[in-house]
Structure formats: structure tokens, C-alpha cells
Structure 1
Amino acid sequence: MTRIIQSLAEIAGEYDTIFCDLWGAVHDGQRAFPSAVEALLAFRDGGARRVALLTNAPRPAVMIEAQLDRMGIPRAAWDVIVTSGDAAQDAMLRGVVGQRVWHLGPDKDDSFFTDLPPDLPDDSPRLPITRVPMDEAEGIVCTGLFDDMTEGPQDYLTVLTEAAARGLPMLCANPDIVVDFGDKRIYCAGALAELYQQLGGEAIYVGKPHPPIYQLAARSLRLDASARIVAAGDGITTDVLGAINEGLDALFISGGLAFDQFGPDPEAPLAQMLDEWLAGRGLAPTYSIGRLR
């Protein structure tokens, strides 16, 4: 049975680390959630506990850091930022989709190819990567839609059918299907990867709920097997499933993507509705909270 809590402080004493989602948990893509920021500041308590911000954003951590600065989220609220983009860069530079790649994504994600980490974990070789048109590519790096404000996956049916027929593997830099950008719900790279698989193509995932991003977070914080970690987020098939697969306690933020499923007040999910919804998905997070606070 999932325990509904009213604040992160209720369980903070049981953990020394939190892996916390960003979009839907700490901000909505435009504005920070003040109560969530305060909760992380209190959890961290001057550095007594550790906060890793885990996001499926397809951009390097330095870009997310700048975004949080613009939103006024203090750096004292977190220790490290780990992105799906970081993990995907790691995979790309190892050559998982070849060295000649077609970038499927917006211009704002160009930093994925230019703002590269100074080194790779475990002294892995760094392969030179060249961006080329799709008809010259060995593989695809998908960071999102070209225009996520106006387009959907079906706009890519023709080009993805062609790519699948050519047998091009796709590295998906953001497994999220959708996110809420302010009041608008938009598609992410995960929606294109899902369609690509339906068309017979191969998709490679590194963000939540897949292991590479959690492994990168643990290395970034230098955690060992004794670490007491809770993972928080509003994505049932990303944050919650990923935490459970990694053997971590999960804190489901029900007032995020699924805010309208648990009664009239997103801040106060109704227990019966929450239990029925979770049972229908075969998942039982350790805790649930309306909004992170």
C-alpha cells in the first residue's frame, strides 16, 4: 500500500540522498514551484543530505543549470544535476549508433553535440561524431521534435518509416512521452522513439526508467551500496518505474502529469482513487504526495 505523505520532511530522516525529478516536480518548464524548492533546501539541510536532480532533458547538465538559474532556483537546493542528455552523450561518444548520425531535434539542442564532457567514465574511448543528413547516416540521435509546440509524432511517420526500413538505430536522449510546458502538453523524444519501435525500428534509451542515468547519478555523488536513496517524480513509467527497477524507494508526485486522476484537489490525492490508479498500472511506489513540499 502506498503511503500518502504531506511533506518531504516526514520521511527525510530515513534517507541521506534524494534523486529528484525536475520537470513536473520542481518546475513546469517556465516557473519554479516555490514549495518544492523549499523542500529540497530543507532536505539538504546545509549539505547534511545529498540532492541529485535527475531529469530526462536531452541537454547537458550545464544547460539545465543555466535554466534553473533563470528560474531563480538556488544552487543550495541541489548537489548535482544529471540529465538524460549526459547519459546519451556518453552513449553517443561510445558509438552506440555509429559515428555518422542524423540529429532529429530542435536547434536549441545543438549543444548536445558541442558541449561535450571533458572525459568519459572508466576511461572509455571518445569517438568522433559527425552530423549528416538522414540518407547518409549510420544512426539517429533523437532529442525531440523539430517544433514541439505545433507538431506531434504522426508528423514524422514518413521519415521514421524510411529510417526504420534502412535499419538505423535511434538513440533516444529523452524517454519522456509528454511534459506540461506551463498549461500546454507537448510531446518529447520518447514519443518519437515509441513510434519508431512500432514501425520496426530499434530505439536505445538511457534516461529514466533505464539504468544508465541512475548509474551516472551514483557516480556523480560517489555513492556506495550503503546509500539510503529515495527517488521522487511525477512520471509513473519513468520516475516510479525506474526507482522500483533500481531497488529504490519511490515518491510519486501525483499532482504532476496525472494531476486530474485523484480527485478535485491536486494537492490532496484521494487514497482510494490513487490506489486504484496505481493498481491498474501494476506499480506501488513507497510514498505519494500531491505536490513536492
Structure 2
Amino acid sequence: MIQLTALSGLGQVAADYDVLLCDVWGVIHNGRESYPEACAALTRFNETSGHVVLISNSPRPSSDVVAQLDQLGVPRSAWRAFVTSGDATRAELSRRAPGPAWAIGPERDAPLYEGTGVLTVKSGDQASFISVTGPYDDTTETPEDYRDRLTPAAQRGLELVCANPDRVVQRGDRLIYCAGSLADLYESLGGRVVMAGKPFGPIYDLALKEADRLLEGRLDRSRVLCVGDGVVTDVLGANRQGLDCLFVAAGIHGDQARGPDGMVDVDRAQALLAAETAHARYATLDLVW
């Protein structure tokens, strides 16, 4: 087992890496505002050490999410490439075209389907599979609101494509449910689920392809560091890929790993990881230089 080391900042290990595969929501913004110190740390890495590839479980194509980053004040200098679960999921959708797909999620996620050839419907009665980007209304709904609707689909044997494996994310000072929580419910009902985002391989294939492009074909996986706050997505994804990981222990975990000195408590951080049979090389509370 890798020994977890507490860092005071990314600068302590930046020289050891050419690429950061950095999570977005919970690490560089909370859905309402960006984190200036995290953005500054990524910018400095780009300027002095290597390349930052943002790797997000957003269910929308990366090209559609860039505007959101701009609006939240994430500077373009903080990243060199961007891949999303939506990017990776589009291939799964295209393989199932024309569907139709019962598209569960808010209207803002409609760009996911553009160009895939998939027709979308609003119920499972006429669908050949289900595609979930999140609850229709993530401000009020919980997975339980979908139990009665999803049960007949599971009984019919419809496959569910989950475009965002995250179970929850932080929005401001609240945690909101994501598509992953609906996928968990569907599996509990006996349904089959397919995911391409973190921690699954397809999104890492895309991200490492971007990293190799930035490095002009000189990618060395031993010099890639994954950064994220989600144990079952970011950390387990890094573990499955055999990549080093910096666990940002605040994020969705709040103060659970905060020590009495205000710094990350290694034992508490290790407990969060061990609960999911995950491991990381480094831990910090927040991403700073």
C-alpha cells in the first residue's frame, strides 16, 4: 500500500510531473464561484512544470462547459485541454443510435445528444434504452423520486447509460444529487448500467490522448498526477489506471479530514480512502500552490 503523504501545496511535487489530470467541480469551483488559489496553482503549473488537462464528470460535451468555466471566473491559463464524461459518453450513445433513448436530465444537458443520431423521448414506454445526465430538477429531487418511474424499465431489461458517475457534488454550500445516484438506484432495482466517466477507462483514454498531444508524443504515465476530491471517482479512477493521485480531502468531504491545526489530517484522509478501498500518494485539504 502506498504511504499517504500530506502536502502543504502542489508546488512541493510539481517538478515530478509533466501532466495534471485535474478534476473540476469541488477542486477549482463549487458550481457558483471559482477557487482563486486553486486556479492560480494550476496556472503556475502550466507556466513552470507541464500541462493541465481538466477531466470532469460533467455530462455535457467539454466544448459546451467551457462557457460555464468562463462565467465562474476560471481563467483559460489554468488549463490546456478539457475532457468530460459527456465526451466519453457520446460514443456509447452513438453505438445505440437511433435509440430511442429515454433522456432523463435537465434541458441544459441537451447538447450531449447532438450529432449522436440518438432520438430522445420523455418516458421509458417507447425507449430502447435510458440515458441519464442527472435529475430533471437537481434543486429539489432525490433518487427516491425516480424509484416508481425506473422500476418498470428495469423489469423490461432496459440498459441505462449514465453520463455522470458522480453521486453528489457541492453547489455553493449544498450537496446536490447527480446521475450516479440514479444509476445506483437503477442497479439496486436489478437494472444494467453503463458508464464512461470517472472512474471508468474511456474518459482516461481521452484525457491521456490529449496529454500525449500536448507533450508531442512524449507522454510518460509515471509523470502523470491525478487531482480530485471524489474517492469513488477521481481516486479510484487513478488507481485503476495505475496513476499517482493527489486527494483533495475537503471538497465534497468538507471538514472530515481537517486536523486541529487546520491542515489535512493524514489518518482522517486515509480513513476516507480506506472506506472505498482506495489509495493516494498525496493529500491536501484544498488545491493550492
Partner of 2:220 in structure 1? 226
Partner of 2:143 in structure 1? 153
Please tell me whether the aligned partners of residues 101 and 129 of structure 1 are also in contact (alpha carbons under 8 angstroms): yes
Partner of 1:124 in structure 2? none
Distance 1:265 1:110 in 2: 45
Distance 1:214 1:276 in 2: 26
> AA paired with 1:23?
W
Match of 2:126 among 136, 159, 176: 136
Structure 1 residues 90 and 266: alpha-carbon distance in aligned structure 2, compared to 1, 3 A threshold: farther
Partner of 1:246 in structure 2? 241
Partner of 1:283 in structure 2? 278
Which structure 2 residues correspond to residues 117-196 of structure 1 after superposition, within 5 A? 128-132=117-121, 133-196=123-186
Distance 1:279 1:190 in 2: 21
Partner of 1:120 in structure 2? none
Question: What is the CA distance between 1:263 and its match in structure 2?
Answer: 3.3
> AA paired with 2:118?
I
Q: After alignment, is 54-63 or 270-279 more displaced?
A: 270-279
1:23 matched to 2:13: no
Partner of 2:112 in structure 1? 112
Please tell me whether the aligned partners of residues 266 and 291 of structure 1 are also in contact (alpha carbons under 8 angstroms): no
Question: What is the CA distance between 1:62 and its match in structure 2?
Answer: 1.4
Partner of 1:37 in structure 2? 39
Structure 1 residues 105 and 199: alpha-carbon distance in aligned structure 2, compared to 1, 3 A threshold: same
Please tell me whether the aligned partners of residues 257 and 285 of structure 2 are also in contact (alpha carbons under 8 angstroms): no
Distance 1:218 1:263 in 2: 32
Distance 2:84 2:144 in 1: 27
2:55 alignment partner, SS class: strand
Distance 1:276 1:179 in 2: 20
Question: What is the CA distance between 1:266 and its match in structure 2?
Answer: 9.8
Please tell me whether the aligned partners of residues 224 and 243 of structure 2 are also in contact (alpha carbons under 8 angstroms): yes
Distance 1:101 1:172 in 2: 12
Q: After alignment, is 273-282 or 212-221 more displaced?
A: 273-282
Give 5+ residue unaligned stretches, structure 1. 117-126
> AA paired with 1:102?
W
Please tell me whether the aligned partners of residues 98 and 138 of structure 1 are also in contact (alpha carbons under 8 angstroms): no
Match of 1:268 among 263, 266, 269: 263
2:125 alignment partner, SS class: helix
Give 5+ residue unaligned stretches, structure 2. none
Question: What is the CA distance between 1:275 and its match in structure 2?
Answer: 2.8
> AA paired with 1:175?
P
Q: TM-score, normalised by structure 1?
A: 0.91
> AA paired with 1:14?
D
Structure 1 residues 142 and 276: alpha-carbon distance in aligned structure 2, compared to 1, 3 A threshold: closer
Distance 2:60 2:69 in 1: 13
| Cα offsets for 1:229-267 (capped at 9, x unmatched) | 000000011000000110000100001111221236696
Match of 1:200 among 185, 190, 205: 190
Partner of 2:55 in structure 1? 54
Please tell me whether the aligned partners of residues 266 and 283 of structure 2 are also in contact (alpha carbons under 8 angstroms): no
1:208 alignment partner, SS class: coil
Match of 1:258 among 246, 249, 253: 253
Question: What is the CA distance between 1:94 and its match in structure 2?
Answer: 2.0
Distance 1:277 1:84 in 2: 24
| Cα offsets for 1:102-154 (capped at 9, x unmatched) | 1011111111122x4xxxxxxxxxx6211124211110110000001000000
Match of 1:236 among 231, 239, 244: 231
Which structure 2 residues correspond to residues 74-89 of structure 1 after superposition, within 5 A? 74-89=75-90
Partner of 2:9 in structure 1? 7
> AA paired with 2:117?
P
Question: What is the CA distance between 1:277 and its match in structure 2?
Answer: 3.5
Distance 2:79 2:86 in 1: 18
Question: What is the CA distance between 1:156 and its match in structure 2?
Answer: 0.3
Structure 1 residues 217 and 265: alpha-carbon distance in aligned structure 2, compared to 1, 3 A threshold: farther
Question: What is the CA distance between 1:291 and its match in structure 2?
Answer: 0.1
> AA paired with 1:196?
Y
CA RMSD in angstroms, aligned pairs only: 1.7
> AA paired with 2:162?
C
> AA paired with 1:208?
K
